[in-house]
Structure 1
Amino acid sequence: MSTLADLQARFINVLQQGPSAFPEGMFAGDRDRTLLGLKAHANTISHARLVALEQSFPRTLARLGGATFNRLSRDFIERPEVMSRSLRLLGECFADFLQAEPVDPASLDLARIEWAWLESYHAADLPALGLCDLAGLDEAGLLDLPVVLHPAVRMVRLTAPLAEQLPELPCDVQIVLISRPDALVLLHGMTSQRGEILAQIEKSAHMRNFIDSAIEIVGEAAALPHVLSLIEAGALASPHG
């Protein structure tokens, strides 16, 4: 006798592979009518997945156009490794998939930014370190403050001029920083130097180490504005919340 897991696996296989995978005796009743019902259900699922992809990448959709985006989306969701994903994770690696298609580099950057936005939105919650948290500290307390990269932070290095679908960012940015200091996910434009400074936070146990790294990268005079800007963007957090 088949186990529940076996039945579920066969049912999912039929939904994914279509009528050719339909096993004899799986359902009671007329085979043709059962297949008709399964086709309707599979079409509903396919439509829901296409809509989910559109909602995950609305700016990429606007840039590529509906017809092109729909064609690429249909090819993407038919990939075996994508079929088993939940709707929330459906768009993972969509930008990598687009890279193998005739898609311009700015569109690829845009897709990466939109997926990073979603990753940031779903990331673990942790209060971002703010300038107000530093105001009451003396020099020793500030330098000894433990710091980590905020779990919602993502960085996307651009490979092409910024897509016009991101009008809120200056056109000369080199890296897009995605942060979620409070409830809202925010986009920030950064230079490569600032991105290099932020990357050092994973090697820094305390604010002292982070500031020293910034000084090594851009010099003492320029380090403070970069550090303050990253704090204001919500890129840092205290490991203790």
Structure 2
Amino acid sequence: MFPLSISYSRRRPRPNRLCGCKRTYRHPLMRSLDNNQRAMMQALDLGPDHLPDDLFAGPHERVLVGMKVHANTISHARLVALEETFPRTRDVIGHERFNQHSRLFLQQPGVTGQALSGIGAGFDHFLMAMGESPGVADLALFEWLWLQAFHAADAVPLELAALAGQDPDDLLALNLLRHPSALAKPFERQVHELIGENIPEVKDAAAILLTRPQDAVLVSAASMLMAQLLAAAGSATSIGNLLAFPCEPDPDGTPDTDANMQGLVALINAGAFVAA
């Protein structure tokens, strides 16, 4: 069964990326700016005593006034970042309770040291600790994983057309790798039902697949077999090994290669693999 994929989009600006693993040159002025920003963020988090004396010009009192204004701006930006990262979670529990959780979350050790794009890491565990239901916490996890797929490294997805006409032995020997954005896992029933309001196939699916083969994140219904196959391709794995992967064996214990093939094709169609 092929999953229906549609985009589940709340677009946020994506950072520009450089392809490959080459180190990029950083001008000394940029390194100095980074150091100043780190010093300022440390002062915002730990107090004015941690502000270097030579960071700003002018009377100390004026510097403190400016830092207070900046601290309020940063605090507001962090709250907005959480709201934009978890809009469905906020809708489910209500704005007031979400805001209370957000303010307490930002007081947890290490949270404010994150960049705004990473400020929501661990929010799902925090919600559970605050007494929210597993469904609400898992919804926050889904939204966080959606954002990770959105910001994942760009990679050209493998397409079925690229496999057409290949010699069968060469095809079985071809190595696949999970696309950087791809993830498939089961979520709490509440998550499947909420996402299923927009993507009906997800409601009763065993798992949910997230991919970003192009610009938009796609949310698809997936089987547990598909989730297992995708997890098996976390490192380079041949198509032959994936077809023989013992996810759902026949009664005699042999791999169900037909089911594996269907799951593999569905994942390729969803843009979940790259050629290794």
TM bin, normalised by shorter chain, reads: 0.7 to 0.9
Alpha-carbon distance between aligned partners in 2 of 1:23 and 1:144, rounded to the nearest angstrom: 58
Equivalent residues, number: 234
Contact 2:242–2:260, Cα closer than 8 Å, also in 1: no
Residue 273 of structure 2: aligned partner: 236
* Residue of structure 2 aligned with 1:133, choices 147, 162, 166: 162
Identical pairs, percent: 35
* Residue of structure 2 aligned with 1:52, choices 75, 81, 86: 81
Residue 22 of structure 2: aligned partner: none
* Residue of structure 1 aligned with 2:231, choices 189, 195, 199: 199
Residues 96 and 156 (structure 1), Cα distance of their counterparts in 2 relative to 1, 3 Å cut: farther
Contact 2:228–2:247, Cα closer than 8 Å, also in 1: no
Contact 1:95–1:112, Cα closer than 8 Å, also in 2: yes
Give 1:62 deviation, angstroms: 1.5
TM-score (norm 2): 0.74
Question: Which of structures 1 and 2 has the larger relative contact order (alpha carbons within 8 angstroms, sep 6+)?
Answer: 2
Give 1:187 deviation, angstroms: 1.0
Alignment of 1:1-241 (within 5 A): 11-18=40-47, 21=49, 28-29=58-59, 31=61, 33-162=62-191, 164-166=193-195, 167=197, 168-169=199-200, 170-202=202-234, 205-213=237-245, 217=249, 219-239=256-276
CA displacement 1:40-74 (0-9 Å, x = unmatched): 22111100111111111111121221111111111
Alpha-carbon distance between aligned partners in 2 of 1:91 and 1:230, rounded to the nearest angstrom: 28
Residues 227 and 30 (structure 1), Cα distance of their counterparts in 2 relative to 1, 3 Å cut: closer
Alpha-carbon distance between aligned partners in 1 of 2:96 and 2:121, rounded to the nearest angstrom: 21
Residues 10 and 180 (structure 1), Cα distance of their counterparts in 2 relative to 1, 3 Å cut: closer
Give 1:136 deviation, angstroms: 2.4
Alpha-carbon distance between aligned partners in 1 of 2:231 and 2:138, rounded to the nearest angstrom: 19
Residue 10 of structure 2: aligned partner: none
Contact 1:109–1:160, Cα closer than 8 Å, also in 2: no
TM-score (norm 1): 0.84
SS at match of 1:237: strand
Contact 1:76–1:97, Cα closer than 8 Å, also in 2: yes
Contact 1:112–1:156, Cα closer than 8 Å, also in 2: no
Contact 1:162–1:173, Cα closer than 8 Å, also in 2: no
**What stretches of structure 1 of length at least 5 have no aligned partner?**
none
Residues 203 and 213 (structure 1), Cα distance of their counterparts in 2 relative to 1, 3 Å cut: farther
Cα RMSD of the aligned pairs, angstroms, is 2.7
Residues 221 and 13 (structure 1), Cα distance of their counterparts in 2 relative to 1, 3 Å cut: closer
Contact 1:92–1:115, Cα closer than 8 Å, also in 2: yes
Give 1:79 deviation, angstroms: 1.7
Alpha-carbon distance between aligned partners in 1 of 2:226 and 2:247, rounded to the nearest angstrom: 11
Residues 134 and 30 (structure 1), Cα distance of their counterparts in 2 relative to 1, 3 Å cut: closer
SS at match of 1:68: helix
Alpha-carbon distance between aligned partners in 1 of 2:262 and 2:35, rounded to the nearest angstrom: 60
**What stretches of structure 2 of length at least 5 have no aligned partner?**
1-31, 250-254
